[in-house]
Structure 1
Amino acid sequence: MASSQAVRTGRADGSPSRTPAPTGTRHRPARRSSDPDAPTIQLRTTVAAPAAVKPPPARAQAPAKTPAKPRTRRSQTTTVAVLVPAHNEEEGIAATVEGLLSQDVPEWLEISGIVVVANNCTDRTAEIARRYPVTVLEMPDNPDKKAGALNHGWRVAAQDAELVLTMDADTVLLDDTVAAMAAELRGNVVLGAVCARYWATPGKGLAWRMQRLEYARYDDLRDLRGWRVSVASGAAAMYRSAALAAVAKARAAGEPWDGSSLIEDYALTLELKALGWRVAAARNAHVYTTPPDTFRALWTQRLRWGRGGMDECLKRGWSTATRKDIFAYGLFGFSVFFRLLFVTMLALMIIYAVPFRYALIGLIPLAVMWLERMTSMWRLPGRSFTDVALVAIVLVEDVYGFFLEWCAVVAAWRCLNARRQAW
């Protein structure tokens, strides 16, 4: 493994090349040119010194009491180390790094370093990353894949920071994402980790549209749950260093991330919950992530997610950390059963020519589902006529739902039969 520090210059005047978004609006950071000679920006790792705070006026003291001794004011600066594991991400690593470099850093926050871990790369990911003022670590032979890359970056460059941000190399942060996530952790000492609210990057094709709608609905669900989540999504998650150290101490390997897990972010979330930490979504932190662009790639991803989640629950059994997720798997089984029952009922109505007045009763669940989907879609940022049409006709989304459910059923079958599932 080789480690290198890449330093480069930005514009001639040293200023960042971005335009601040209007207050109260959300804009996706523009993807910058992949041209290696395109102008870029400088990392602002230094922060303004905290403003001087005037001591409060002394309270009137009774003559018999001795005035209290003045306390020493502790530093209010919070440090964040960023880890970006990247496997053959030459197309998106530039946008990911530039999104990090363009963060608005308030006076109480300091980005102590950005580390890109080139994980089993066979392309130009490391070469492109070195053009920026970040640390690049190369792991040409990493058997533990993403978990191994995260553990290596954590050991080398992140243990001294108070907070650790991990993110996928195909994810782009909004300008205030790091500050919003750090603020959530500073404001709640029982939180061990927070994840960002993720949205699909602009794309095209039916697979992209379906996932875009799915992400928006999942965001609504997080809101209804009071921003509680079952997993600190690996797209962008920030951890308290004390929580990571506690997990590393509890694990035999002495590292936070489990290299044997298919979904290391979920395994770490369960470890945090088992140790008494809470995990939530940072309501003001937004990121854009690139979803699979084909249904074949989506099948592979969801099969790994489904199998990995079930494996982790079976490994740990019924516990305070897993009971809600196991219960959710049970509800999923009932959902699949009733969906099949509903389809069978509609088919029988058509075959046996059930009178229309009775058929309407069977359509009530369909009407409720349609209304819920339309309401959720209406809150989708940047919705188009195509999005409205896809949801309104119901059939396309229903087929997509069958696709995801069948993928989960296959994952459950492989899990129960101990069939090996790889990346």
Structure 2
Amino acid sequence: MSDAGPISGGLQAAFWLALAVIACTYAGYPAFIGLLARLRPRPVRRGDITPSVTVLVPACNEAEGIAARLENILSLDYDGRCDILMIADGSTDRTVEIASAYAGYSPERPVHILSRPGRRSKVDAIARALPDVEGDIILLTNACHTLAPDLLRRMIPYFADDEVGAVSGETGTPRPLSPPRRYASLLKTWDAAVSSVMGVSDEVWAVRRSVYVPPESDVLPGDLVASLRLVERGWRVAYEPKAVAIEATPPKSLKDEWERRVWNATGRWQAIGRLSGMLRHPQLIITLQYLGRHLLPLISPALFGLLLLANVGLVLHPATAGHLTYRVALVIQGIGYALAGLGWALAAGGYDRVPGALRVPFDLALSGVATVAGGWRHVRRRRINKKA
């Protein structure tokens, strides 16, 4: 029993430290940025402008849906010149053939196609296309999402503000957004109101051609890194939640959603090493936003595990077994994990089968486990690259 004191003290320290970081991530930061957005907002000056726009669309083997995507872009409601530049590197189906039929659609909406053998990364494809971009504004999207008709009219006015280097849109689904998605959108609204959104939607964002610099070819989250490097350089990245790109085929299986989240998490872990400037930004608020929106969410999932283990140890340890605080905390955690497990079981039969009441605990658990798995995948990729 001589070591009962140190063991109990260590368990308590682990419990309260983990709880503090988790609370800061999911309650403290949102409360802080929400209050700051209300008390000290920095409104973006919007104006009635119509700069030329190039819609950049990487599309590899998208023959099944490319016609619908091009018709969607060609029908966007915008008074200025808007051309489409599709990069179909490595396509082996009829993508290029189908897209070529739209080349002479309209003098105001020309369609250009770049294609060469060999499939490369999205970052490589975009970098190769930059010399052929004609528009003052680049709209980056993909061949899997349908753009809202008024998307350009909602995004372009932000560029009337000389401080704005890019504007992020939002990814939508045919169904109403789930509570976690609405919460994420609210956080982005607050971030943008204070300074800049901390990363753009991969599916739709616009950037000034004169300031866009593609990241390294091995970067997985190219759009995230490119947009945050703009913030590093002093540009603001605005957010327009009503500029929506609808996902044509939302994930229907838990496996598909799992792979998507693990891939995203792998990219976020990789991005940490590519965005060191965000940790020493001249504006303290930018660094705080980066910590709250990127670093804390990456480490918090592991802390949930630490919190549970420490809590179990405290309930079992003679020195703290009688403390009501730890017993109640363990019961709350047990209920949360049970609800998440029930949601996971339902999702195994179809991702959209999870009801709203279980969506929050299930989504939190799924994201947490995917974040840990993504971290492990990132470590493995680094080891493989070093050996190579």
- Name the structure 2 match of 1:118: 88
Q: 1:261 to 1:226 in 2, by over 3 A?
A: closer
Cα distance change on mapping 1:216 and 1:124 into 2, 3 Å: farther
Structure 1: how far apart are the matches of 2:210 and 2:174? Answer: 33
> Using a 3 Å threshold, how does the CA distance of structure 1 residues 356 and 98 change in structure 2: closer, same or farther?
farther
Higher helix share: 2
Contact 1:198 1:215 in 2 (8 A): no
Is 2:315 aligned against 1:339? no
For residues 172 and 344 of structure 1, what CA distance do their matches in structure 2 show?
A: 45
Q: Is the 8 A contact 1:142 1:149 kept in 2?
A: no
Q: Following the alignment from structure 1 to structure 2, what is the Cα–Cα distance between the partners of residues 264 and 193? A: 14
Structure 1 282/405 Cα, relative in aligned 2: closer, same or farther at 3 Å? same
In the alignment, does 2:314 pair up with 1:314? no
CA RMSD in angstroms, aligned pairs only = 3.8
**Residue 205 of structure 2 is aligned with which of 223, 234, 237?**
237
The aligned counterpart of 1:404 is 370
8 Å CA contact 1:99–1:173 kept in 2: the answer is yes
Pairwise CA distance, 1:385: 9.5
Aligned position for 1:286? 244
Number of the residue aligned with 2:56: 83
1: distance between equivalents of 2:61 and 2:240?
29
Q: Which residue of 2 aligns with 1:139?
A: 115
Decide whether the 8 Å contact of 1:200 with 1:212 is kept in 2: no
TM-score by length of 2: 0.66
Q: Is 1:219 matched up with 2:173?
A: no
Return the TM-score normalized by structure 1: 0.61
1:258 and 2:234 equivalent? no
The structure with higher relative contact order (CA 8 Å, sep 6+) is 2
- 1:1-23 superposed Cα distances (whole Å, 9 cap, x missing partner): xxxxxxxxxxxxxxxxxxxxxxx
What SS does the aligned partner of 1:169 have?
coil
Quote the Cα distance in structure 2 between the aligned partners of 1:343 and 1:131: 59
Give the superposition deviation at 1:222: 1.1
Q: For the residues of structure 1 that align with 2:241 and 2:298, how far apart are their CA atoms?
A: 30
CA distance in 1, matches of 2:261, 2:123: 18
Match of 1:99 among 60, 69, 72: 72
Which of 129, 141, 155 matches 1:167? 141
CA–CA separation in structure 2 for the residues paired with 1:243 and 1:130: 30
Q: Provide the C-alpha distance between the structure 2 equivalents of 1:343 and 1:143, rounded to a whole number of angstroms.
A: 45
Deviation of the 1:164 alpha carbon? 1.2
Per the alignment, residue 155 of structure 1 pairs with 131
> What is the Cα deviation at residue 270 of structure 1?
3.3
1:124–1:308 CA distance, 2 compared to 1 (3 A): same
Given that residues 167 and 207 in structure 2 are in contact (C-alpha distance below 8 angstroms), is that contact kept between their aligned partners in structure 1? yes
User: 1:123 is paired with a residue of what secondary structure?
Assistant: coil
Change in 2 beyond 3 A, CA 1:348/1:95: farther
- Contact 2:100 2:113 (8 Å CA) reproduced: no
1:308–1:401: structure 2 CA closer, same or farther, 3 Å change rule? closer
Instruction: Give me the whole-angstrom Cα distance separating, in 2, the residues matched to 1:218 and 1:300.
Output: 20
Q: Percent same amino acid among aligned pairs?
A: 22
In structure 1, stretches of 5+ residues that fail to align are: 1-74, 203-208, 248-255, 371-383
Q: Name the aligned partner's letter for residue 75 of structure 2.
A: S
CA distance in 2, matches of 1:142, 1:258: 19
Answer yes or no: is the 8 Å Cα contact 1:87–1:121 preserved in 2. yes
Over 3 Å counting, the alpha-carbon distance change for 1:197 and 1:123 in structure 2 is same
Give the superposition deviation at 1:300.
4.1
Q: Deviations over 1:12-62 (max 9, x none)?
A: xxxxxxxxxxxxxxxxxxxxxxxxxxxxxxxxxxxxxxxxxxxxxxxxxxx
Measured after TM superposition, the shift of residue 402 of structure 1 is 3.7
SS of residue matched to 1:189? coil
How far did 1:217 drift?
A: 3.0
Report the Cα distance in structure 2 between the residues aligned to 1:88 and 1:180, rounded to whole angstroms.
Answer: 30
